[in-house]
Amino acid sequence: MPEDAAEPPRQRMRADARRNAEQIIAAAGALIAEQGADVSLEGVARRAGVGSATLHRHFPCRQALLEAVFKDRVEALCAKAGDLLSHPDPGEALLTWLRAVGAHAVANRGLGASLMRGGDPTFGDTCHDMIIKAGDALLTRAGDAVRPGIAVTHLLKLVSAIALATERDPDGPAEADRLLAIAIEGVRAR
């Protein structure tokens, strides 16, 4: 077995191919945030500055592209949680991450539902588990800053509900952040 066989496919690509894949993912992510998960693949290719054949070479179907966008966002969200573990105020670190989760949810405009319609059923579970693990670490570290009996799943459901309620607002991310700030007051330890 070649020694690079364990590396993810994007890691094994030539630099220009990797750059194209990253541009396509970034363009798809931006268009999903603007228009929702049913964006045109031709529009994604145009925004990325690549041809349709290049897009399809990297992502043979819509599902593969949507999964790549979502996975990229989940990995960034989990990396942010890891970075926040060293924040001097554990309660503030958790709040900062929950705001990032809210922005993530608002930017995904229908992406989760699209992924559930025809993809690998384990994909969503894997991403969900990554987010739970990242949030659990922050919640555990926050300790006494959070009322007893609150689990990270409670917080994630709260953030998801807020994001869903604000995803069609013209100023969705800001409104989600305002509502989250109100909800967090109920989560803080007295």
Q: What is the CATH number of the domain that holds 47?
A: 1.10.10
Least confident span in 5-14, 103-112, 136-145, 169-178? 5-14
**Same-domain pairing of 54 and 122:** no
Residue 10 binned pLDDT confidence (cut-offs 50, 70, 90):
low
Helix (H, G, I), strand (E, B) or coil at 188: strand
Instruction: Give the structural domain span for 74.
Output: 69-190
**Same-domain pairing of 19 and 113:** no
Residue 78 corresponds to which amino acid?
A: C
Residue 106 above 70 pLDDT?
A: yes
**Same-domain pairing of 175 and 117:** yes
Which has more confidence, 42 or 168? 42
**Same-domain pairing of 167 and 82:** yes
Phi-psi domain of 7 (left: phi exceeds 0; alpha: psi -120 through 50; beta: other): beta
Identify the domain boundary among 14, 42, 60.
Answer: 60
Distance between CA atoms of 130 and 105, rounded to whole angstroms? 15
**Same-domain pairing of 133 and 45:** no
Distance between CA atoms of 182 and 177, rounded to whole angstroms? 9
Helix (H, G, I), strand (E, B) or coil at 146: strand
**Same-domain pairing of 110 and 77:** yes
Tokens 């994604």 sit at which residue?
Answer: 44
Helix (H, G, I), strand (E, B) or coil at 177: helix
Q: Are 164 and 139 in contact (CB under 8 A)?
A: no
pTM for the structure as a whole: 0.79
Distance between CA atoms of 80 and 36, rounded to whole angstroms? 24
Distance of CA 64 to CAs 35, 95, 111, 120, 128, Å?
19, 32, 12, 10, 18
Residue 11 above 60 pLDDT?
A: no
